[in-house]
């Protein structure tokens, strides 16, 4: 399994949260406006459909002494009725009336094949037309027709009444309504962004205050604990020097255990202090160009005795020289953290390899071990503070789960990235990539 901690600047959790809140608030407002616009538009369409269909039904159902009443539409635009036809099954005209008689044949051609067995309605766009009839030119604008069909039975057999109304006016209203909604939506989006940003800023104030107080407490507590821990460690050294010969084996073991615990606590306090300072942005990195190859040899050599205790083969694969830019002390701390973890979680007679990979575009520190490995589910979280894969074993090894969190901050400060390849029982490989 390969997992990558991407390079980049250290993310500001408050800015990220504020942006997320702003986007969430904005989308909620936009969603409300869009739903409102859709509901109003659908309500308008529904009411218009009901009104026009009822109007057409009244026209198609109108009878007088058992006969269909054919309205006179010539030179009349009463109620916007556009045409009225009674056609038999073969499409022959039994009765008709047109607002524009010259277009009668074209209108009938478009509805001749439509012969529903019950009342039906449909919309049809009639494009702009221009036709010459003798000395006259008939021009019609693009219009939207609402057409109804009503089957009837006549003395000569079944027939269908077709009636159409010009509903272009309603379409224009709906279109203008949608344009107004879009304009209002754009205005409200701008207002929503500003309002959401203001709301999210106010929502973040108490969280930021609490976080800063927590950071300050952590930094102060860590700083205050360093002095008593140092005094305790020094006192134990004095006891060991002055009374070492007179102490019983049990007392010596107690003193040794106390010194180990104080050392563990001192490292934890130091890590907590660095993380607190890193969160506050007060950690200083002294970037300079230096040859990392000889320094890395020295850093690895410092773990040689620890590795020998577990009969671990500690090997290096380094070039003669490699000039890089970075903070030597922080990079040393990074290497120490990776080596410490590699040796801790590698069983006896295992292997730990340390390498440098020079590259024109980037250089890499590689730490590979033959240890217990890391499960795929745990890999994305190992850089989180206080996270430990095997909690019981980590406590036995003296780990507080802060080392890789420190390493992450160092890598981010150097604009680097981490590639982790690991499988349970097959070891782990940490590849730390830095830009040249």
> Which pLDDT belongs to residue 43?
92
pLDDT digits (tens, 9 = 90+) for 9-36: 555 666 777 777 778 878 888 888 889 8
Which ranges in 97-167 belong to alpha helices (H)?
A: 104-111
pTM higher than 0.85, yes or no?
A: no
Mean pLDDT, all residues of the chain: 80
Angle between helix axes 328-344 and 403-413 (nearest 10 degrees) is 150
Evaluate if residue 300 carries a pLDDT over 70: yes
pLDDT digits (tens, 9 = 90+) for 373-392: 888 888 888 887 777 666 54
Evaluate if residue 88 carries a pLDDT over 90: no
Q: Are 55 and 79 in contact (CB under 8 A)?
A: yes
> Which pLDDT belongs to residue 72?
83
C-alpha 356/C-alpha 362 separation (Å) is 11
Segments of the chain assigned to CATH 3.30.450: 80-166
Q: Which of 278, 352, 270 is nearest to 310 (CA)?
A: 352
Q: Which of 413, 421, 314, 416 is nearest to 359 (CA)?
A: 416
Tokens of 418: 């981490």
Evaluate if residue 399 carries a pLDDT over 60: no
pLDDT digits (tens, 9 = 90+) for 311-347: 999 998 888 888 889 888 889 889 988 998 899 889 9
CATH architecture of the domain formed by 284-436: 2-Layer Sandwich (3.30)
> Which pLDDT belongs to residue 368?
92
Q: What are the phi and psi torsion angles at 153 (to 5°)?
A: -120, 125
Burial class (CB in 10 A: 0-12, 13-18, 19+), 271: buried
Neighbours of 287 (CB within 10 A): 13
Q: What is the mean pLDDT of residues 63-73?
A: 82
Evaluate if residue 394 carries a pLDDT over 80: no
C-alpha 37/C-alpha 174 separation (Å) is 11
Give the highest mean pLDDT range of 67-71, 139-143, 208-212, 391-395.
67-71
> Which pLDDT belongs to residue 76?
59
> Which pLDDT belongs to residue 254?
80
Q: How far is CA 81 from CA 232, 317, 401, in A?
A: 102, 92, 82
When mean pLDDT is compared across 76-90, 113-127, 293-307, 357-371, the lowest value belongs to: 76-90
Strand-pair partners of 126: 143
Confidence of residue 295 (pLDDT cuts 50, 70, 90): very high
Segments of the chain assigned to CATH 3.30.565.10: 284-436
pLDDT digits (tens, 9 = 90+) for 159-171: 999 999 988 888 8
> Which pLDDT belongs to residue 142?
82
C-alpha 39/C-alpha 152 separation (Å) is 37
Strand-pair partners of 317: 355
Q: What is the mean pLDDT of residues 105-121?
A: 86
When mean pLDDT is compared across 211-225, 290-304, 340-354, 375-389, the lowest value belongs to: 211-225
Strand-pair partners of 362: 435
C-alpha 365/C-alpha 361 separation (Å) is 14
> Which pLDDT belongs to residue 221?
61
C-alpha 271/C-alpha 402 separation (Å) is 7
C-alpha 45/C-alpha 54 separation (Å) is 14
Asked: is 80-166 a CATH 2.60.120 domain? The reply is no
Q: How far is CA 84 from CA 88, 120, 165, 281, 303, in A?
A: 14, 15, 9, 81, 100
Tokens of 232: 């305790």
Antiparallel, parallel or unpaired: β 351-357 and 313-317: parallel
Is 4 or 393 the better-scoring residue by pLDDT? 4
> Which pLDDT belongs to residue 121?
92
């Amino acid at each position: 399994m390969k997992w990558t901690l991407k390079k980049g600047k250290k993310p500001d959790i408050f800015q990220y949260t504020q942006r997320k809140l702003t986007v969430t608030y904005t989308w909620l407002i936009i969603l409300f406006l869009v739903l409102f616009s859709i509901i109003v538009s659908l309500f308008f369409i529904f009411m218009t459909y009901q009104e026009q269909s009822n109007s057409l039904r009244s026209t198609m159902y109108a009878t007088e002494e058992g006969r269909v009443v054919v309205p006179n539409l010539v030179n009349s635009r009463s109620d916007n009725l556009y045409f009225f036809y009674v056609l038999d099954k073969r499409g022959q005209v039994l009765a008709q009336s047109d607002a524009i008689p010259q277009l009668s044949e074209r209108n009938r051609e478009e509805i001749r094949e439509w012969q529903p067995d019950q009342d039906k309605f449909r919309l049809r766009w009639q494009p702009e037309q221009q036709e010459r009839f003798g000395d006259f030119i008939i021009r019609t604008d693009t219009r939207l027709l609402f057409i109804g069909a009503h089957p009837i039975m006549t003395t000569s057999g079944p027939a269908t009444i077709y009636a159409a109304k010009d509903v272009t006016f309603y379409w224009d209203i709906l279109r203008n309504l949608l344009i107004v909604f879009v304009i209002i939506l754009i205005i409200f989006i701008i207002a929503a962004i500003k309002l959401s940003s203001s709301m999210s800023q106010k929502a973040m104030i108490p969280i930021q205050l609490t976080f800063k107080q927590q950071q300050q407490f952590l930094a102060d507590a860590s700083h205050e604990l360093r002095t008593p821990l140092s005094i305790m460690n020094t006192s134990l050294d004095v006891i060991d020097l002055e009374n070492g010969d007179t102490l019983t084996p049990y007392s010596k073991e107690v003193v040794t255990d106390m010194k180990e615990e104080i050392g563990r606590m001192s490292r934890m306090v130091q890590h907590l202090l660095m993380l607190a300072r890193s969160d506050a942005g007060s950690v200083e990195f002294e970037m300079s160009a230096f040859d990392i190859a000889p320094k890395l040899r020295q850093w690895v050599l410092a773990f040689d005795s620890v590795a020998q205790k577990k009969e671990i083969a500690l090997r290096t694969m380094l070039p003669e020289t490699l000039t890089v830019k970075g903070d030597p002390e922080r990079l040393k701390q990074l290497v120490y953290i990776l080596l410490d973890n590699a040796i801790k979680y590698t069983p006896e007679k295992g292997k730990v390899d340390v390498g440098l990979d020079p590259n024109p575009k980037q250089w890499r520190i590689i730490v590979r071990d033959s240890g217990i490995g890391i499960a795929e589910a745990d890999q994305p979280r190992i850089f989180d503070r206080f996270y430990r894969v095997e909690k019981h074993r980590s406590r036995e090894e003296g780990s507080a789960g802060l080392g890789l969190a420190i390493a992450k901050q160092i890598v981010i400060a150097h604009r680097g990235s981490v590639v982790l390849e690991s499988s349970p029982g097959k070891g782990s490989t940490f590849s730390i990539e830095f830009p040249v």
